[in-house]
Amino acid sequence: MNNEINEAKSRFEKIMLQQLERVKMMKDEDKWIDYNALKPVIIGVCYGDGIGVEISKQAETVLKTLLKEKLESGKIEFRDIEGLTIENRAKVEKAIPEDVLEELKACHVILKGPTTTPQEGDEWPNIESANVAMRKELDLFANVRPVRIPSEGIDWCFFRENTEGEYILGSRGFNITDDLSVDFKVITEQGSERIIRMAFEYARKNGIKRVTAVTKANVVKTTDGRFSKVAKRIAGEYRQYGIKQDEWYIDIMAAKLLDPARRKDFRVIVLPNLYGDILTDEAAQLQGGVGTAGSANVGRRWAMFEAIHGSAPRMVREGRAKYADPSSMIRAAAMLLSHIGFPSYGKKLNMALDICAQQEKKVVITGRDNGATGGEFTEYILDWVNNGGLEAAWNKYMSIL
């Protein structure tokens, strides 16, 4: 038994030293990138695998259509990155192959399709999630996920911490003995502060008067307790803007998002990694399913935009990939447009998605051959953006908010 305990101590020490080094790096963070100073802004399109290839290409078509003039003037450049397939990752047994990582780092922003994450017992090596690895390698600490259902008064924006919590060391847990397994949860002062401050800044800039922190600090007292304390401290700085901060525990918060009488009161929600992953999937389901929601992964130097769902290998095996809903990736593309300085394009695209997918529904995706293909839905969206009477649509949209 002593040998097992000593081995565990040694492994734990290495993990903690690495985390302390990460804290030091956060303290020395660079300034935010200025996209206006770049020419060109390089957009990497990383197709992923499974249905990721199909829906990424649809979103890329949308981006290239909207940014046609910027492409021609040299303000924008696209680069296709094809090496993040599960086959390629399995071959080198790495979450992100080194050459692919270098390609990613050479871009300023990345539109990324879903990737397959193996688990023990799969046909693939049990490598780390490419998403988790990319967030760590590029320090994409903020996962921003908006969910809007205008007809129900829902307009949420979730700020999920992306580089800590249970996921940061999800592949580093170990078995102490044949009977005891241990994983780790890490929350830092610096990691909590930067995501919580981003949420408050978003609220301030958008005239929103409430920020909700989600924890389980009554039970998980040390890590969640730290997140809770940081939220309260930063809230004090924003009282001058009339912003109030409240806190809900993750279990009751999951219930309140389903409560028609209360859910429309929430606006900006900030939460640690695992809770954010679960809660945003629930929120997306209310919007129409995880296939309808995109997300931004934002750091000071790089940003990555993606669907919130997986690669759906079953759809590929069954020959249904072309019927996959590209809405999630198109939502991600809208966020990308806003992030790099084209908010009017992002706004038009989001509005078209709201009208086409939630109101008109002239072209419906079912995921099977009894519905539209992803390409047909993309054409429908672009028709609205380019020729669909957006002024009238905007008036209709605003009337139901």
Mean pLDDT in runs of 10 for the chain (401 residues)?
Answer: 85 89 85 90 94 95 96 96 91 93 97 88 82 90 90 92 87 86 92 97 95 97 97 98 97 96 95 94 85 86 91 92 94 95 90 83 91 95 76 59 49
Within the chain, what is the greatest distance between any pair of CA atoms?
A: 73
Domain assignment of residue 132, yes or no: yes
First to last CA, the chain: 63
Exposure letters 328-367 (e unless 16+ CB within 10 A, then b):
bbbbbbbbbbbbbebeebbebbbbbbbbbbbebeebebeb
Question: What was the pLDDT predicted at 2?
Answer: 81
Residue 77 lies in a domain: yes
pLDDT of residue 126: 80
Q: Tokens 């320090």 belong to which residue?
A: 139
* Global model pTM greater than 0.85: no
User: Does the residue 294 lie in any domain?
Assistant: no
Position 381 in a domain: yes
Is residue 270 in some structural domain?
Answer: no
- Strand extents, DSSP E, 253-389: 268-271, 294-298, 303-307
Q: What is the pLDDT of residue 226?
A: 97
Quick check: is 386 in a domain? yes
- Domain for residue 164, yes or no? no
Bridge-based pairing of strands 303-307 and 109-112 is: parallel
Q: What is the pLDDT of residue 397?
A: 57
Say if 96 falls within a structural domain: yes
**What does the alpha-carbon distance between residue 158 and residue 284 come to, in Å, rounded to a whole number?**
11
Residue 366 belongs to domain spanning: 31-140+299-401
pLDDT of residue 287: 84
Beta bridge pairs of residue 154: 149
- According to DSSP, residue 320 is labeled -
- What pLDDT does 288 receive? 78
Query: CATH number, domain at 43?
Result: 3.40.718.10
Query: What's the pLDDT score for residue 388?
Result: 54
- Number of domains forming the structure of the chain: 1
Residues 6+ apart with CB under 8 A from 230: 189, 192, 193, 196
- Measured over the CA atoms of residue 172, residue 176, residue 179 and residue 183, the dihedral's sign is negative
